[in-house]
Amino acid sequence: MRLTRSCCPVMVPFEEVLFQVRKALQVDPSLVHDLLRELHEANVFSTQYYQSLYKDGEVAEESLCEVLCTDEDLDRKLSLLVWQNWDVSQDILHSTLNKQEDLVSTDGEANFIDPDPTLELPDSVLGEYLQSLLDGSIEETFDPTFFEDPNYSSLHTTDDKDTNCIPEKTSKVARPKKRKATTIDPQQIPCKQAIVVPESPSYELTPNITSGTEGSFHLSPYQPVFSFPISSPSLPSSALQFIQTISPLTSPLIGTVVQTGSTYVLVSPQSVSPGTQIIPLSPADGTVAPPELTGFVLPVGSSSGLTSVSVDTSPIKEGNPDKNTESPSPKLKNKVRPKAPECVKDYIHRLKSHLRDVCSTMRGGMGMQSHYVDAHLVQRKLLIKSGKNANKCLEKELVVLSDSERKKAKLDTSQLFHNLDSKSKQSFAFLGKSGVGKTTFIQRLCLDWSNSGLPQFQFVFLMNCKILDFKQSNYSLKTLLFDFSTSPHCEDSNAAFKHILSCPDEVLIIFDSFDHIKDLEGLLQSPAKSHTDTKYTIKQLFSGLFQKEILSGCTLLIATRPKDVLNQVLRKMDCLLEIWGFSPEDIELYTSKYFEEASLRESALQKIKNQGYMFSLCSNPLLCWATCFLLKHQDGEDLPSTLTDLYQRVTSKHLELASIGNSTKKKQLDTPQLCKMAWEGFKNHDTHVNLVKSTELLDCALKSGILIPYKTSEQEENHFADLFTQNFLSALHLVQSKQVNDKTVVANTMVQHKKRKVQGESQDVLQRFITGLIFQKTASGLSIIDSSVDLKAKRKAVEAHLESMKPKDLVPARLLELFHCVYETCSVKFAQGLVKNLPDDLSFCGTQLSPSDVYVICHILQHASAMKRTFTINLQDTCIPIRGLKELVGLKCIASFWAHAEDTIDLWEDLHQSNDELNLKSAIEKFTLNPLKATQGYHIESLPVLVQIHREKKLPTSELVPALDEGVPALRHLQKLEFGLGVQNGPELFPKVIEVLPSLQSLLCLDLDKNHIGDSGAEKLSGVLHFLECLKLLILSQNLIGDAGVGKLAQALASVPSLQTLRLYGNAIADSGAEHLALALPDMKSLQDLDVKFNKFTDIGATKLSAALKNCPGMKSLELWNNCIPYGVFEHLRLQDSRIKSL
């Protein structure tokens, strides 16, 4: 079996190589022979094979090019040899193709460029025909004898007899093989479909159609085209152009009748019906000049008018042409808007009035203008993963920001629809957990628009996915916009829809509660493609809007929860925004707005602050409202300490207030029926409630706010107000219903070992409520909970389940759920049992931590001191706020912590400014970086600041800090650094690693695998290696390091006395680089293992490395296999020294 001799670690596809070889074989014959000779000299194929190509001597040499172009088997055999030696062959192929391009370019410039025809036409000839054009007397059929006029022919010398302007061959110049001319029948080309090309400069080279035999056209490379940007009032947007028929025509002119006997053709554009709109001339900077002045002529028959064409007339700046791209001016400045009919203006006015009425009230009857607190928008990014499981989990794809990165990524609401960069954004996704305020924020947007905000939109259509029917397939885009949105009845919907189609970029379409779409499979398949058809489902209409198949240019906005599986949509969104909850300042502001009286306001705020868990829950706006509601209506009682108790009291109080004045008392209400319907809806991922038989319960639920009515085009539907309410009632059904056994309860309480659940956040909340209700103490006063139900069997089953959990086996997200479930029990026994089974190394890495999450973790870990347990906690990629980081780091049971370096520095700054020197010193000593695995840019970007603190013994905004007298222990004790930013970001951020390395004097392992640092990066690394006196393992594999880079490294590696393992596999080291390594090996006294396999050195380099082993008695292994080393040579070397390893 023949061994492949490729030296390239990553092979290109064979079909691509075959294409390149075939392309190279079609060049000039002399270049083909040079190509084969160079391939032979590079040992791509053997001498025997090379001679076989010329086996018939001179005859074969002359016909070799033809054979190579026609023989499929010969092409493939040659391509296979090239493919096997692609790293050598690709340069030879590219060189040949470049020579061919230079040859064709020179040949074309020397032989095919004609003088500018505008310099040869007399003024009298041009004036006559220009005047006839302006007078409108020019005839449809052009007279081919026009250019036979003596006035014109006198301009030519007697030697210029070639009407085709094709020069004779003056010398034997290498040319490509001529292809068969393309023939076009002029009878098949209608005369009246002449297409006007855009105006060219006074001289321009364009594709050519040369005249061969009469009645045919032939393509040739170039043609001068010249135009006169002179327009007649009777012919708007026209330009007179003279085009040489025997020279090449641009592709739009292929459809033009050109007489074979003439030299030139006069082409005049035909008028378009309806007439093209002319943009008014404006002298202002940045505006678009009309076509008459710019010479820009739209193609006849174009489906788009001038209103959809943007012409950049900005002067080109000198300098780099790649950097002369001016950002396009806003679309509103470049387009002339069609005037809206009066009926459409009236509809827009009524639409604004309707949205103003609907969106001016928040939950609980509070006014939007008076009680609304601005939301915090944060731009999020998706980490697109490769592999077969990349689409399964959204948690993996959303990049979890650090707290400092989150602050930098904040976006002001006023900038929401403004393109801050050059990329136009037309689709937005609002992400946010339940209750964080997605719907309220959307209502605020609509209210702002109705009050003359968002001027870029004429229309705003708001759809609620809770009440949309996704099953029927008889809808049109018009039906979706006018019948299913929150809008008033439109008297003339046809006129309004027609106007919408004329200005789609002034339309904003919002899909709220997008996570209520149940079947997401195939959501983006079979999109709607017609604006008028009535055969689509709402999913198809959304897909058509999203993929710009219909109403292209409109702005699309969806609101959804971040944990639901929407990858196929979110990946393609132009902008991902997350709505964050209240900050501590926002909680105070909201409380002050909720309580109008100053005395009640101060009292309520003090009670919230005194109850730490309630204060942390209030970071969720919905839970903040529930807390304020409870404070307003309860009589001097303390606030609850768990989420379950909060919703038990709030729901009971709602029903109590709603039943006042009713003849039926609350205890007689069939609340178990409401709970059962909540559970059925939870299982079906549905919030709809149908309580037709129990009108009193329905009235009470609507009056209390547990249910909210929604009007549809056919009827009124009732839905649960929010996820927390529905899940609490569902949990109440599971706990108190006799039809539900203990196994069902445990199944819905079970903390799964998997990282994702079908119900996502909804399942998490249900688990907390079930656990809390099972262990809930008897509530005092009026309660929705039936205290007479025996819960012993279910409580025993849940208790056994919690005790059987193994925290060591749980991923961070599931471990956090277990913490919450244990907290809801209010049981010291369960808390101590959880702490006892926790691993020493706690990790919440990759799980976004909210203030309530931090409070629960701190509360559980407080039991560790009595049990004399200490932990190391990983808080990287958790977005933990500084307030929460301070609480966790301050726990005595936390011996050390990982966190983002910039967040840690902010924590130190905060402690120093509050004069808390004791905790500052503790926080500095507890901070650790070992091991440091940098997978995101912000993992490494802040390290230079940390190094500066370490060297200067002070914080960035302060003078010398006593706690930093010994520097930063985390840097002194760092032993492993893994730089894993990859090919895309690795080369850019590698200099920051170089900046940090001299301070890492305890570093044992430096892993720089797969970062493509190249020779320049290797040279920079060699300059700092002498600082790493303790380094034992250096991984530089797959980094595109060549001979130059490894030469610099070889000189520096001898200064690392402790280095034991060096991995350089998968680079581009050739024989010269192998020689450098061989010379340095004897000086590397501690080196035991060297891995240089899959490089590019041949048997020469391998022999030198093998010979160097004789002077390295401490070496244990040398891995040098690659495809460039003949197998026999490698086996011989391996037999000489057993330390040489094979694959």
Chain segment 896-911, per-residue pLDDT in tens: 999 999 999 999 999 9
Closest CA to 248 of 266, 221, 212: 221
- Non-local (6+) Cβ contacts of 13 within 8 A are none
- State how far the Cα of 727 lies from the Cα of 682, in Å rounded to an integer: 7
Do strands 376-380 and 575-580 pair parallel, antiparallel, or not at all (unpaired)?
antiparallel
Are 600 and 592 spatial neighbours (Cβ–Cβ below 8 Å)? no
Q: What are the backbone dihedrals phi and psi of residue 710, each rounded to the nearest 5 degrees, phi first?
A: -130, 130
N-to-C CA span, the chain: 18
DSSP secondary structure, 778-832, as one string = PPSSS-SS-TTS--HHHHHHHHHHHHH--GGGS-HHHHHHHHHHHHHHT-HHHHH
**pLDDT for 336:** 66
544, two tokens: 């058509």
Q: In what side-by-side order are the strands of the sheet with 707-711?
A: 688-689, 716-720, 707-711
* Structural element, H or E, at residue 258: none
275, two tokens: 């007439």
Could you read off the pLDDT of 232-244 as tens digits, one per residue?
443 444 444 444 4
Closest CA to 458 of 415, 497, 507: 507
613, two tokens: 């868990």
On the CB side of 718, how many CA atoms lie within 13 Å of its CA? Answer: 20
Are 1109 and 1079 spatial neighbours (Cβ–Cβ below 8 Å)? no
∠ Cα 621 625 631 (to 5°): 145
Q: What are the backbone dihedrals phi and psi of residue 1131, each rounded to the nearest 5 degrees, phi first?
A: -65, -35
Bridge partners of residue 579, in order along the sequence: 377
Closest CA to 445 of 505, 389, 509: 509
Domain ranges for the chain: 14-111, 117-267, 342-580, 583-639, 762-922, 1013-1141
- What is the number of helices (H) and of strands (E) in the chain? 45, 25
Bridge partners of residue 503, in order along the sequence: none
For the domain spanning 342-580, the CATH number is: 3.40.50.300
- Non-local (6+) Cβ contacts of 1128 within 8 A are none
| Residue for token pair 């909060």 | 646
Are 1022 and 992 spatial neighbours (Cβ–Cβ below 8 Å)? no
Are 554 and 545 spatial neighbours (Cβ–Cβ below 8 Å)? yes
1126, two tokens: 């003949």
- State how far the Cα of 1038 lies from the Cα of 1069, in Å rounded to an integer: 11
Helix, strand, or coil here: 622?
helix
CA torsion 805-808-811-812 (nearest 10°) is 100
Are 296 and 276 spatial neighbours (Cβ–Cβ below 8 Å)? no
842-870 b/e with 16+ CB inside 10 Å = b?
bbbbbbbbbbbbbbbbbbbbebbeeeeee
Long-range contacts of residues 320-324, Cβ cutoff 8 Å, at least 24 apart: none
| Residue for token pair 């998997």 | 754
Domain 1013-1141: which topology? 3.80.10
H-helix segments, 493-560: 493-502, 538-546
Closest CA to 1065 of 990, 1141, 989: 1141
355-375 b/e with 16+ CB inside 10 Å = b?
beebbbebbeeeebeebbbeb
CB-CB neighbours of 529 under 10 Å: 13
253, two tokens: 């002119």
- State how far the Cα of 1112 lies from the Cα of 1044, in Å rounded to an integer: 24
pLDDT < 70 positions in the chain: 1-11, 55-66, 69-70, 104-336, 384-397, 419-423, 520-522, 563-567, 661-668, 692, 751-760, 778-782, 1143
CB-CB neighbours of 682 under 10 Å: 24
CB-CB neighbours of 296 under 10 Å: 19
Q: Compute the residue count for the chain.
A: 1143
Closest CA to 724 of 581, 615, 625, 590: 625
**pLDDT for 219:** 38
Q: In what side-by-side order are the strands of the sheet with 1140-1141?
A: 932-934, 976-979, 1005-1007, 1033-1035, 1061-1063, 1089-1091, 1117-1119, 1140-1141
76, two tokens: 């493939």
**pLDDT for 475:** 92
Are 887 and 854 spatial neighbours (Cβ–Cβ below 8 Å)? yes
**pLDDT for 927:** 96
Are 1048 and 1018 spatial neighbours (Cβ–Cβ below 8 Å)? yes
Bridge partners of residue 1006, in order along the sequence: 977, 1034
Bridge partners of residue 226, in order along the sequence: 242
**pLDDT for 414:** 81
Closest CA to 333 of 348, 352, 346, 314: 314
* Structural element, H or E, at residue 586: helix 584-594
- Cα-trace Rg, the chain: 39
- State how far the Cα of 451 lies from the Cα of 439, in Å rounded to an integer: 18
